[in-house]
Chains A and B, each alone.
Chain A
Amino acid sequence: MNNLVHTILEEELPFGEKVFQVFRYQFEKNLIYQRFCEALRIKPEDIRHAGDIPLLPIDAFKEGRVVTGEWDKEELMFQSSGTSGSVRSHHYVRYATVYRDSLLKGFNHFYDLSDFVFWGYTPGYADNPHSSLIWMINELIRYDDSGLSRFLHLNETLNIAEIDKLKRSGKRLMLFGAAFGLIDLVQRKSVSLPEDAIVMETGGMKTHRREMSRADLHKNLADGFALPMDHIHSEYGMTELLSQAYARGTEWFDTPPWMKISIRNPVNPLMELADGNEGLIGILDLSNIYSCSFILTGDAGEKRPDGTFKVNGRWQKTNLRGCNFLIDRD
């Protein structure tokens, strides 16, 4: 294991120091990222600020094996979900412990792990060994030794007796699920969760059948579970990342100390946008030490000076071909 990996999650070490070490390491050892930087004619000595670091388009995880270092045996391989025929992302994770540490430390940064019982309203781990989300929930379930954490069966309703048992345990409930999975759950049967419970939606506001804004989703979930709005939280993560950001009752996501956001100009992603401007969400996730830590997503968003960020959905490509009638700009 590279020595860097022991320091990237250390909260005492400033991000600004670690990020340049990781950039140099990946520039040297990640062939895809190296070719990318060289084609842009960017060398490590050109980088003065984290905002100067070129961000690799996330599609690289669909079109190549994005790994840092010389290894061909991964402990985990995550694959994005997708419709049949679509090309899926693959994230090769050299050491499972890096993801586990990032997940648990990151979670503990915002919540107290030992407080919670975890329920996952998602397909189970055995059926989806290549889903990074389900692996993550499974790890949280494994961490809790109360015996109360588990994956719920899809199509089942919440069991009142089980909720009562949970209340008596003195632990809090955190219910994980994708947006429409949770909506289906409350529509099947509204159940009052314990008042200190947290519902953690993991995204998926738009499917081929349905679309809902995050605000509407949270309102529906708060009503359905009889919880205050600030107990409906969101997790921002993806197959290509080993860290997660959390929005705790607001629309603004916080990142753990080893993950930072850089909003980039969609026309020229080498250019970082100032806080408050909408652009493409770029992510610097140091826990991706063995893949690529510098990723340009296809999501639109904006950042605040305190580092928190908001996700405004998928970036709408405005420069479409054809005869777009742009009434204001004509």
Chain B
Amino acid sequence: MTLESRIELIAEKARYWFNVENTSLIEAATRTYKEGFFPKSDVLYAIQCLKDSVSKEALSAWVAKAGVSKNTSEDKKVLCLHAGNLPLVGFQDVLAALLSGYDYYGKISRKDPYLLPDFLDQFNGTPLESHIHPDTDLQAFRGVKANAVTFSGSESSIPEVMEVVKAGNMADDNCRYLIRKAHFSITYFDDFTSENSENLVNALLRYDGKGCRSVAIVVSPLKLGKISCTFTDYFESYWTKNPTHRKPSPGIKYRYAYNKAVQKVQMFLEHVIIEESIDPVPANDDIIYWVHGGLDKMVELSDKFGDQVQNLYVCSEKLRIPGYQEKTELLSRAQCPFINWKPDGIDILKWLFAVSSEQR
């Protein structure tokens, strides 16, 4: 297939799949939230965001921006080990694999078992069908000898994953690995309009803060104590519209008590604590740090956390974080990125083509 025909086919299948009357998507989405994998509001939000970001024009623009040539990589295989921390988290990797012409081998997360497979079913009966191999069992990929492997991991989980992939002969000897390590994002919040405040709350709480695009640290010229009362209303409004499945962790009460003990300013929101901090250490997704400071503080924290940080958000298009232009995005796009966003700063499509060219 030519690149143009791939774009055409993928855009058409996506358009159909995202259609509000698509009963198979409705069923996959319903099962996903009814079986408790994710809250209904998060499932619908993820679907809507992807729907808005995938079109023939968007895919063509992505391909062009990635500098992809007309040649595709039809003799190559990519093994994608999808995380399951939010609904459809592997969707971008799937599109990149299909656009690039790789044979797609996808380890579907058991925490999100319906949505991605349902999308992939759309390609049954098309020229791409024989190139698509999803499975929830990693062992199904034994002997695949992929040329490229993508997955997300922490420092501690990477060796374990690599060992399983190598032991199962799932990767070729010259295989290239794309390992995403970013865990969280930071926002600079200096403009307290109602719209920005809603965007901030969405960036903090959407998907229970589990995505790497979710904000774990807020840097603001205003102290938390000054705005906490106003913000409580935004949080309540968010939870009314987006009820969470999450139960408060036992550790959160402990953290609350500790903050009370050292008289740290905090907002205790039952599932989440927002606390004022001068030395934040993002680890748990139920603690959000509010750091009093300016752009220099943003730079300091970005330097400190390095590749753990996915994005730096700002409220205004005009603002850029010095030294981090590439990572800077609008806060309003935190949970709803363009289809060509770059996890860990790497364009997956460009990367796949580079691997393919290298191994040709």
A: residues with CB less than 8 A from B are 32-33, 35-40, 54, 56-57, 59-60, 62-64, 86-87, 266-271, 316-328, 330
Contacts and interface: CB of A to CB of B under 8 A. Distances in A.
Contacts of A57: 254, 258
Nearest to A316: B156
Given A40-B254, A268-B251, A270-B250, A321 B184 contact: yes
B111 interface: yes
A60 B251 contact: no
10 contacts: A33-B261, A35-B260, A60-B258, A87-B278, A269-B254, A321-B214, A321-B284, A324-B153, A324-B157, A327-B157
Contacts of B85: 322-324
Given A40-B254, A321-B211, 6 more contacts: A56-B258, A56-B261, A62-B279, A270-B250, A322-B85, A327-B161
A322 B253 contact: no
Contact of B285 (A37, A56, A271, A321): A321
Interface in B183-227: 183-184, 209-212, 214, 216
B262 A322 contact: no
Contacts of A317: 283-284
Contact of A39 (B211, B251, B256): B256
A324 B83 contact: yes
Interface string B149-193: 001111011001100100000000000000011111000000000
A37 B253 CA distance: 11
Q: Which 8 A-B pairs have the closest CB atoms?
A: A323-B152, A323-B83, A268-B250, A39-B257, A322-B183, A36-B261, A317-B283, A322-B212
A323 B89 contact: yes
Contacts of B254: 40, 57, 268-270
Main secondary structure of the interface of B (DSSP, over half): loop
Nearest to B152: A323
Q: Which residue of B110, B152, B157, B214 has the most chain A CB atoms within 10 A of its CB atom? A: B157
Contacts of B210: 321-322
Contacts of A36: 257-258, 260-261
Nearest to B164: A327
Nearest to B251: A267
Which has the most chain B C-beta neighbours within 10 Å: A64, A267, A330?
Answer: A330
B279 A87 contact: yes
A325 B151 contact: yes
A327 B209 CA distance: 21
A59 to B, nearest CB: 8
A269 B261 CA distance: 16
A86 B279 contact: yes
A35 B261 contact: yes
B84 interface: yes
B311 to A, nearest CB: 12
Contacts of A63: 262, 264
B263 A324 contact: no
A36 to B, nearest CB: 4
A324 B81 CA distance: 11
A319 B89 contact: no
B211 A322 contact: yes
Contacts of B84: 330
A56 B260 CA distance: 12
Given A32-B261, A35-B260, A36-B257, A322 B251 contact: no
B157 A326 contact: yes
Contact of B81 (A62, A270, A325): A325
Nearest to B180: A323
A318 B183 CA distance: 12
A33 B263 CA distance: 11
A328 B81 CA distance: 13
B79 to A, nearest CB: 12
A322 B261 contact: no
A226 B180 CA distance: 46
A318 B156 contact: yes
Given A56-B261, A270-B250, A316-B156, A323 B138 contact: no
B283 A320 contact: yes
Contact of B262 (A37, A64, A326): A64
Contact of A269 (B152, B157, B251): B251
B249 interface: yes
Contacts of B109: 330
Nearest to B261: A36
A317 to B, nearest CB: 4
Contacts of B183: 320-322
Contacts of B154: 318, 320, 322, 324
B253 to A, nearest CB: 7
B282 interface: yes
Contacts of A39: 256-257, 260-261
Contact of A324 (B152, B258, B262, B310): B152
Contacts of B181: 322
Nearest to B212: A322
Nearest to B158: A325
